[in-house]
Amino acid sequence: MSNPALSFKVTRQAPELVVPAAPTPHELKHLSDIDDQEGLRFQVPFIQFYRQSHLGRSRDPAGVIREAIGKALVHYYPFAGRLKEVGSGRKLAVDCTGEGVMFIEADADVSVDEFGDVLQPPFPGLDELLFDVPGSGGILGCPLLLFQVTRLTCGGFIVAVRLNHVMADTTGLVNFLTAVGEMARGQPDVSVRPVWCRELLSARDLPRVTCVHHEYDQVEGTIVPFENMVQRSFFFGPDEVAALRNLVPPHLTRCSTFELLTAVLWRTRTVSLKLNPADEVRMMSVVNARHKFNPPLRIGYYGNAFAYPAALTSAGELSANPIGFAVQLVKKAKNEVTEEYMKSVADLMVLNNRPHFTVVQSYLVSDVTRVGFETVDFGWGKAAFGGPAKGGIGAIPGFIVLYIPAKNKKGEKGITIPICLPAEVMDVFVKELDGLLETGRLAGDTPKKKTTPLITSAL
């Protein structure tokens, strides 16, 4: 498990701007209306751990990656610009000024192994490994990416990245990081050409909302209190998934692991919050829409290309019904996303002044297990861990939940899910979840055995 008590010192050099390594166009490029929504105007932290490798041949990772970023920015030059609002309706555009992305070189008196035998969020010292340079974290007029490369005592290193979410989704960021890795490894060109084409996901000339979008309902009420929030990570490997699958009826046992875990966690979270049974609750799942278009979006498209359709029910119905009820709701919501659905969202943004998605009694899930963060190679091999740096991202703690690829101590592949909840709610959540797992194991005639605690790290 990760070591939450770990303490170490990070020595940083002065932040600098890395500019494209060759001249780039100076132009104004509009974001799409899927990019340009209130709910994406925030910074997202990611982190990559790399162990010492003979592949690096004693090269300095900070110097190598700094130079590679400059080369990759020649292709992805909008990242070197700055955002501004143009015209009416708070429309965002990138002023491609070539000012560059922010870069910090650092050293830490700690090794990769000291972070624990399982690398997963929450990571100790994250604020030191991804330093928030004063004045750099705004949405408008600020660097669109921040990199910090921290060398470790073991010869390994950490690459932490902060992304302005309106510029790209996780697929788009991995496209860029892959290009940086290719430049770092000495390739003469990027293997996938970046594609802008944001007009493909912009509102139509005559905007019209043709689908139901409960994810943008304007609902009054209170959200989860911010006080006394704690974050814990839960690992779901083959044993845990098999146990939970025993809780659904036969006709739903072929549901995806994502659908199963989302149903279980949504229901468990709702039970733990002890909501009024009449309260309306929402689950929103991020659905990649790249292949929903005809033809599909080109592979190099690096803008935001997803929707988060909502499943609705009451807290009482969700809590009282078995897991299969929630699974069916999740499956139905996911299947709503089509090309027309995406166009309808873009039109809604323009017609309704770019509303924020619903946050009252809502729960948003994003699966990044197949995005490919761990495959990013800067010349030292694949990452020992790659993905979101923490749970609870966004302006509202605990609202967005991320599914991250991970391995347990036995080397089994699974999914780590960081959860943020008030401490007293978290205690109930753990008890409820453990109870479901135990019931599932018994239902599958799995002998009761001592297992690794489900909570694998806490901070």
Three-state DSSP string of the chain: CECCCCCCCEEECCCEEECCCCCCCCCEEECCCCCCCHHHCCEEEEEEEECCCHHHCCCCHHHHHHHHHHHHHHHCHHHHCEEEEECCCCEEEEECCCCCEEEEEEEECCCCHHHECCCCCCCCCHHHHCCCCCCCCCCCCCCCEEEEEEECCCCCEEEEEEEEHHHCCHHHHHHHHHHHHHHHCCCCCCCCCCECCHHHHCCCCCCCCCCCCHHHCCCCCCCCCCCCEEEEEEEECHHHHHHHHCCCCHHHCCCCHHHHHHHHHHHHHHHHHCCCCCCEEEEEECEECHHHCCCCCCCCECCCCEECCEEEEEHHHHHHCCHHHHHHHHHHHHCCCCHHHHHHHHHHHHHCCCCCCCCCCEEEEEECCCCCHHHCCCCCCCCCEEEECCCCCCCCCCCEEEEEEEECCCCCEEEEEEEEEEHHHHHHHHHHHHHHHHHHHHHCCCCCCCCCCCEEEEC
Amino acid at 420: C
Residue that terminates a domain, selected from 201, 233, 254: 201
Judgement on whether residues 410 and 276 belong to the same structural domain of the protein: yes
CATH number at residue 73: 3.30.559.10
**Nearest alpha-carbon partner for 235 in 445, 421, 403:** 403
Look at residue 42 and tell me if it is in a domain.
Answer: yes
Judgement on whether residues 168 and 225 belong to the same structural domain of the protein: no
Q: Quote the CA–CA distance of 122 and 105 in Å, as a whole number.
A: 22
Q: Any idea which residue has 């944001």 for tokens?
A: 198
Q: Any idea which residue has 């690829």 for tokens?
A: 405
224 near 398, Cβ under 8 Å? yes
39 near 357, Cβ under 8 Å? yes
Residue that terminates a domain, selected from 166, 201, 236: 201
Instruction: Read off the pLDDT of residues 400-411 as tens digits, 9 standing for 90 and up.
Output: 889 999 888 888
Which pair of structure tokens corresponds to residue 403?
A: 């599914």
Look at residue 207 and tell me if it is in a domain.
Answer: no
Look at residue 1 and tell me if it is in a domain.
Answer: no
Instruction: Read off the pLDDT of residues 184-224 as tens digits, 9 standing for 90 and up.
Output: 999 999 999 999 999 999 999 999 999 999 999 988 876 66
389 near 160, Cβ under 8 Å? yes
Q: Quote the CA–CA distance of 268 and 318 in Å, as a whole number.
A: 9
Look at residue 358 and tell me if it is in a domain.
Answer: yes
101 near 77, Cβ under 8 Å? no
Other beta carbons within 10 angstroms of residue 296's beta carbon come to: 13
**pLDDT (tens place) for every residue of the chain, 459 residues total:** 556 679 999 999 999 999 999 999 999 999 999 999 999 999 999 999 999 998 877 899 999 999 999 999 999 999 999 999 998 778 999 999 999 999 999 999 999 999 988 888 889 999 999 999 999 999 999 999 999 999 999 999 999 999 999 999 999 999 999 999 999 999 999 999 999 999 999 999 999 999 999 999 988 876 666 678 888 999 999 999 999 999 999 999 889 999 999 999 999 999 999 999 999 999 999 999 999 999 999 999 999 999 999 999 999 999 999 999 999 999 999 999 999 999 999 999 999 999 999 988 898 999 999 999 999 999 999 999 999 988 766 666 667 889 999 888 888 899 999 998 999 999 999 999 999 999 999 988 644 444 444 544 444
Active site amino acids:
165, 377
Judgement on whether residues 129 and 67 belong to the same structural domain of the protein: yes
What is the model's pLDDT at position 224? 62
Per-chain mean pLDDT for the chain: 92
Judgement on whether residues 188 and 225 belong to the same structural domain of the protein: no
Q: Quote the CA–CA distance of 359 and 173 in Å, as a whole number.
A: 25
Judgement on whether residues 218 and 196 belong to the same structural domain of the protein: no
Judgement on whether residues 92 and 116 belong to the same structural domain of the protein: yes
What is the model's pLDDT at position 1? 53
Instruction: Read off the pLDDT of residues 83-142 as tens digits, 9 standing for 90 and up.
Output: 999 987 789 999 999 999 999 999 999 999 999 888 888 899 999 999 999 999 999 999
Look at residue 2 and tell me if it is in a domain.
Answer: no
The fraction of the chain above a pLDDT of 90, given in percent, is 81
Residue that terminates a domain, selected from 201, 224, 258: 201
Q: For the whole prediction, is pTM greater than 0.95?
A: no
Look at residue 208 and tell me if it is in a domain.
Answer: no
Q: Quote the CA–CA distance of 81 and 100 in Å, as a whole number.
A: 6
Look at residue 4 and tell me if it is in a domain.
Answer: no
Judgement on whether residues 152 and 262 belong to the same structural domain of the protein: no
Judgement on whether residues 268 and 304 belong to the same structural domain of the protein: yes
Other beta carbons within 10 angstroms of residue 238's beta carbon come to: 13
Judgement on whether residues 219 and 149 belong to the same structural domain of the protein: no
Judgement on whether residues 161 and 268 belong to the same structural domain of the protein: no
Look at residue 167 and tell me if it is in a domain.
Answer: yes
Judgement on whether residues 163 and 259 belong to the same structural domain of the protein: no
* Structural domain harbouring 158: 10-201
Judgement on whether residues 324 and 185 belong to the same structural domain of the protein: no
Q: Total domain count for the chain?
A: 2
Handedness of CA 340, 342, 345, 350 (dihedral sign): negative
What is the model's pLDDT at position 451? 44
